[in-house]
Every structure is written in C-alpha cells, then in structure tokens.
Structure 1
Amino acid sequence: MRLEKRNSSSALALLLAPIGAAVFTLLVCALLVLWAGAPVGQTYALLFKGGFGSVFALSETLTRAIPLILTGLSATVAFKARLFNIGAEGQLYAGALAAVLVGGLHGGTGLEWSPWVLFPLMLLAAALAGALLLLGPTLMKTRLGVDEVVTTLLFNFIMLLGVSLVLDGPMKDPGAMGWPQSVGLQEGLELSKLIAQTRVHSGLLIAMGLALAVWCIFKYSVLGFNIRAVGANARAAAFAGVRVTRTMVWVALLSGALAGLAGAIEVAGRTGYVTLDMSPGYGYTGIVIAMLAGLHPIGVLAASVFVAGVLVGADSMSRAINVPTYIADVIVAASLLSVLVASMLTQYRVRWK
C-alpha cells in the first residue's frame, strides 16, 4: 500500500470528508457505549439534549466555548507558522493572574480607577503576560534551536506552581476562609450577561470578534502572508526576503496574547477570581480545536461550540444514564483523528499493490 498525491481535490470530496469523519466517530464511540451496557440511541440523544436541547443547555455550551475559542485561536496562529505552542494553559493562567493584579489588587493605593479605564488596562495586562510567556521559548527556538514543544509544555507546570504560590501568598483572598483563591475583581469589571439568568456573557462577542480579526490578518495583511510563508517553508521564505525571526516573534506575541486574554475573560466573565482549577485543560483542548478547524480562524468558532457541546452534554448524560463522562473525551479525540485522516484522503489516494 502506498499514498499517491492527488492532482486536485473535488468539491464533493471536500464536502463528504467531514461528514464521513463524523459518521465514523459516532460508529466507533457507539461500540464503547454498547460496551458500557447503555443503549446507543438514548445515549446520543441525551448527549445532544444536554449540550443543545434547551436555552439553558445552549447557554452552558456557549459559556464553555468562550475560552476554547481563544485558546483555539492561539494554537491556530502558532501552528500556522509551525510554532508548536503547547503552553496555552500556562499562558491562560498568566493572563488570569495579570487581570486580577490590575483589576483586584489596586484598591490599597488610594486611587480611584474608573472601570472604563481599568477594564482595557486589565485586558492589555493579560495579553502582555501571555505574550511574554511564549516569547521566551520562541526566541530559544529561533536563536538556539531549542524544541518549543518541550519548553512551552514545561512552562505550563512552572506557571501552575507559580499560581499555587501566589494564591497561598500575596494574592490570597483573606475572606476565602483558607481556600486558595485570589482576591476578586472590583465591581464594574465583570462582563455583562448576554442571556438573563444564565452564565453566558459578552466575552462571547469579544471571542467572535477576535476570530474575525485573526481571519482578516491571515487573509489581507502582510503579516498573515509572512506567517503562511514561514509555515509552508521557513528556508524558502527567508530566501524570498521574509524575516523569519521577526515573523516568529509576532506570531509568539499574537498567540500568547490570545491565550492570556482567555484567562482574563474567564475571570471577568465567569469566576471573578483565580483558582488552581479554573481551567479544566482549556489550553490543551485548544490544540484539538485548532486541528479540527483545519487551522482556520472561523472554523475555530464551530469546532469550539462542537467540543463544548460534547463536554457539557456528557455531564448531563452521565447523570441520566450509566455512561461515564469520559466518553466525551473519546468523542473529541476520535473526531480529531477522523478529521485528520479524512483530510489526508482528500489530498492523497491509496494505491494497493
């Protein structure tokens, strides 16, 4: 068996590829549902109902999707230039801490800050914190040839240990009865609700706007062209006059800033303060979302809602039927593998000998 490059991919093949991937995923996961001793049809119905079957379910899905959109965009920007940023989780926490540092720890200075001034400063600090956390590994890659997968991954653990340190130290909330959490944001810095009596907030609009902005950067800007060129072939791009190191620095700043904003928006829109369990792996899930979206910023929106719906629906499903919530992780992972294989088959054909 060998793979042969197709001269072109038909529109029908491009349309059927994701459909086939979805069907294959459902069939594979159906075997696991049967193994758990549950009816397949009822399990999938409860999964869909729990994620999208009511206004409350949809609002919970959209709330979960907001940080996923931003971490998905972070991975999309980095991976487009072949900068394999595995550190969005740490960058998210860096942004969350910076947001609380600006929006919660300034009260003892004696200065009265208007929320209209403090809120953009809070977002700017979060974006800067995430960007700087990725800038170091990027410079080590471009200057010293150090593998960014290792450095960004290790920075996640360093950042989480740092969060644990400050939550039990200078940023600990004295009114939390010993619970390790930071002080809260001041009043007026919380994001408004989009739907009354739900948790979905206006951070969804910010995330959608950033997805559109990243798409415009990729499609219409010189930086976007340079990112695509470096991602396709860095040596050829340098030969053509693209400044590879400068481009990679911009990629690091943009990717890290998006992950840092995810932390700030999660604090301002949902939690109000920082805890160690604030993120159930949003940074890592963002990598899956970027790949599901084919590194397309608009596709990240759809992929984030899909993954969030599966995760939220699995929680509801497990309470109604004897199927563990881990089936959601299997569905997301199987979806990723199926999409990657389907995408490969649209570009290559299998030849048997």
Structure 2
Amino acid sequence: MRLEARTTVSRTALVAAPFGAIAATLLICAVLVAWAGAPVGRAYLLLLEGGFGSRFAWSETLTRATPLMLTGLAVAVAFRTRLFNIGAEGQLYLGALAAVAVGGQVDGAAALPNGLLFGLMVAAGMLAGALLLLVPALLKLRLGVDEVVTTLLLNFIVLLGVSMMLDGPMKDPLAMGWPQSVALVPELELTRLLERSRVHSGLLIAVALAVLLWAVNRFTVFGLQMRAVGANARAAAFAGMPVARVTLLAAMLSGALAGLAGVVEVAGRTGYLTLDISPGYGYTGVVIAMLAGLHPMGVIAASVFVAGVLVGADGMSRAVGVPNAIADVIVAVALLAMLVATMLTRYRVRLDRIGRAA
C-alpha cells in the first residue's frame, strides 16, 4: 500500500472533505456513546438540541463561537504560510492581560475619553499577541528553530506570567482573595446583541474580520504572496517574493487576531481576567482552521459547529449520563478525521501486488 499524489485536486472533493470528516467523527464517537450505555440516536438529538434547539442554546453557542472564530482565523492565517502557530492560547491570554492593563479601573484610565481608551485597549491586546508570535517566527527564519515547539511552550510561560500578575500587581483588592484582575471600565464593555443573553458585538467583529481576510486572500498581492509562500517557499523566493517579510507579517497578523480574542472575551463576556477565561480556545482554533480548510469563511461555520458541540454536550451529559468529556473527544476526532480527509483529496491509495518485483 502506498500513497500517490493526484495530478489534479477536485474542488468538489475539497468542499466535501469537511462534511465527510464530520460524518466520520459522528460514526466513530457513536461507538463511545453506546459503550457508555446511552442510546446513540437520543444522545445525538440532545446534543443537537442543546447547541441549536432554542434561543438560549443559540445564544450560548454564538457566545462561545466568537473567540473560536478569532483563534481559528489566527491559526488559518499562520498555517497558510506554513507557520504552524500552536500558541494561540498564550496569545489570547496575553491579549486579555494587555486589555485589562490599559482599560482597567485605574486612575490613569479614567482620565482618557472612552473612545480613545477603547482603541488603545484593542490595540494593546492585538500588539501583545502579535509580538508574542513574532519571537518564534524570527527564531524559525534566522535559526531554523521549530515553531511548533516554541509556540507551544510559550503558552505555559504566558499562563504562569498571567498567574503571577493576577496574584500580584494586577490583583483586584475587592476580589476576596480570588486571583482575578481589576474590572474594565464599564463603558469599554461590548454591547449585547440580544436581550437577556450573553451574545455581544464581538461576534460581528469576528465575522467582519473573516470576510476581510477572505477578501485579502482573494484579491490582494499580500494574499497571493501568503498562498505562494505556503505552497512552496523556495519557488516563491525564486519568483522574487520577500518570503521572510511575508512570513513575519503573517505571524504578526495571526498573533494579533489571537490577542483580539482575549480582548473580546474580557470586554464582551467577563469584564475582568481570570485564569479560566479560556477553556482551550487557542488549541481548539487549530481544529477549526483545519475543519475550515484554512478558508476564512469556513472558519465561521466550523466555529459554530464546534461551539454547538461543546454547548450541547452539557445537556446531553445530564440527560443520558454520557461524560461531558465526549465533547472534547468529538473535537479531537474531528481534527484527525479532517487531516485524513484532506490527505485523501490530494493523494490516492495504491495497492501493490504481493511479491511484486523490486
């Protein structure tokens, strides 16, 4: 058995690959649901109803999908240029920390106009995320250091640094000893899109950025350069493209999007920073980017799907006794299934006869 590259890649196969991956994921996870002693059909129906079956379900799904869209876009931008950013989680936390540092209820913040302060808060969060990814990008370009390792390890360094800040200089003195930051100035919080829900205007920001990135990829020179560098960096350099500059710009854009996810979570959902503000949004962004085939518009649909699974798993767990961790299993299997589906769109499996002459 061997893999043989296809001479042409079918556009239909590329579009169908995510749906095939999702179908395979549900079939594989059905075995685990049955193993837990729950009826598979009812469990999946409860999963669907919990994520999409009511106004409340949709509001919670969209609330959770908002940061996932931004981290998914961050990963998609980096992966497009073959910069494997596994550090969106750390970039999210650093962006949230920078947002609280600028927009927290301190004396200096109160002296600035709200519009200017909001802009500074967003810029600080995006800049913090961009600079965090710039370091691994430079190490890769200058020294050949594997960015998967550096971005992954930076996540733990950032989390420890955030923990130190929340227990130290940025700790809220009114938090009864709980490690959390001071609250944002109320005027800096994002507006609610629906009454009696947690859906906020960060959702519109995420969708607008997805459309903007699609337009950049499709209609600009920079988008062409990113695709060319990702397809073959040596060929792009031979054609005269500035490979290093394109990679660094893509790295800063990717980190800025992940940092913005942290800003949006603080300003739209919590109002302050804690160590559990993200249940792994940065890591889940990798799954979303792969499910979307690195397409910005696909990131929107993939984010809603994954968020619906995570939200719906709570109700399913209570109703039929399936462990809530099944949601994480579904997301993980979806990533593996998508990798296999993507591979099969580009390669075909060839079976050689046994005993064939060498």
Superposed displacement of residue 97, structure 1: 0.7
Alpha carbons of structure 1 residues 14 and 210: separation in structure 2 relative to 1, 3 Å: closer
1:350 and 2:349 correspond = yes
Q: Quick one: distance in 1 between partners of 2:182 and 2:126?
A: 20
The equivalent residue for 2:302 is 303
The equivalent residue for 2:42 is 42
Superposed displacement of residue 230, structure 1: 1.1
The equivalent residue for 2:85 is 85
The aligned amino acid for 1:2 is: R
Superposed displacement of residue 26, structure 1: 1.6
Q: Secondary structure at the match of 2:4?
A: strand
The aligned amino acid for 2:250 is: V
Q: Secondary structure at the match of 1:82?
A: coil
Work out whether residues 72 and 299 of structure 2, in 8 Å CA contact, stay in contact via their aligned partners in 1.
Answer: yes
Q: Quick one: distance in 2 between partners of 1:51 and 1:110?
A: 39
Superposed displacement of residue 8, structure 1: 3.1
The equivalent residue for 2:340 is 341
Q: Quick one: distance in 1 between partners of 2:109 and 2:257?
A: 32
Alpha carbons of structure 1 residues 286 and 18: separation in structure 2 relative to 1, 3 Å: closer
The equivalent residue for 1:185 is 184
Q: 1:95-125 CA deviation, whole Å, 9 max, x = no partner?
A: 10111111115x3238522222211111011
Greater mean deviation of Cα atoms: 68-77 or 238-247: 238-247
The aligned amino acid for 2:346 is: Q
Query: How many aligned residue pairs are there?
Result: 352
The equivalent residue for 2:71 is 71
Q: Secondary structure at the match of 2:184?
A: coil
Superposed displacement of residue 10, structure 1: 4.6
Alpha carbons of structure 1 residues 67 and 99: separation in structure 2 relative to 1, 3 Å: same
The equivalent residue for 1:97 is 97
Q: Give the 5 Å matches for 1:1-353.
A: 1-10=1-10, 13-14=13-14, 16-105=16-105, 107-109=106-108, 112-353=111-352
Work out whether residues 46 and 315 of structure 2, in 8 Å CA contact, stay in contact via their aligned partners in 1.
Answer: yes
Alpha carbons of structure 1 residues 278 and 113: separation in structure 2 relative to 1, 3 Å: same
Alpha carbons of structure 1 residues 237 and 175: separation in structure 2 relative to 1, 3 Å: same
Q: Quick one: distance in 1 between partners of 2:255 and 2:181?
A: 22
The aligned amino acid for 1:7 is: T
TM-score (structure 2 length as normaliser): 0.95
Superposed displacement of residue 15, structure 1: 5.3
Superposed displacement of residue 81, structure 1: 0.5
Q: Quick one: distance in 1 between partners of 2:74 and 2:273?
A: 21
Q: Quick one: distance in 2 between partners of 1:114 and 1:311?
A: 39
Q: 1:180-225 CA deviation, whole Å, 9 max, x = no partner?
A: 0000001211111111000011100000011111111111111111
The aligned amino acid for 1:20 is: G
Q: 1:58-80 CA deviation, whole Å, 9 max, x = no partner?
A: 10000000000000000001000
In the alignment, structure 2 segments of 5+ residues that lack a partner are 353-358
Alpha carbons of structure 1 residues 154 and 14: separation in structure 2 relative to 1, 3 Å: closer
Work out whether residues 109 and 117 of structure 2, in 8 Å CA contact, stay in contact via their aligned partners in 1.
Answer: no
Q: Quick one: distance in 2 between partners of 1:172 and 1:194?
A: 30
Q: Quick one: distance in 2 between partners of 1:285 and 1:340?
A: 15
Work out whether residues 33 and 322 of structure 2, in 8 Å CA contact, stay in contact via their aligned partners in 1.
Answer: yes
TM-score (structure 1 length as normaliser): 0.96
Alpha carbons of structure 1 residues 154 and 216: separation in structure 2 relative to 1, 3 Å: same
Superposed displacement of residue 330, structure 1: 1.5
Q: Secondary structure at the match of 2:176?
A: coil
Alpha carbons of structure 1 residues 19 and 264: separation in structure 2 relative to 1, 3 Å: closer
Q: 1:265-305 CA deviation, whole Å, 9 max, x = no partner?
A: 00000010000111111111101110111010100000000
Q: 1:156-191 CA deviation, whole Å, 9 max, x = no partner?
A: 111111101110111100100000000000121111
Q: Quick one: distance in 2 between partners of 1:215 and 1:11?
A: 17
Q: Secondary structure at the match of 1:350?
A: strand
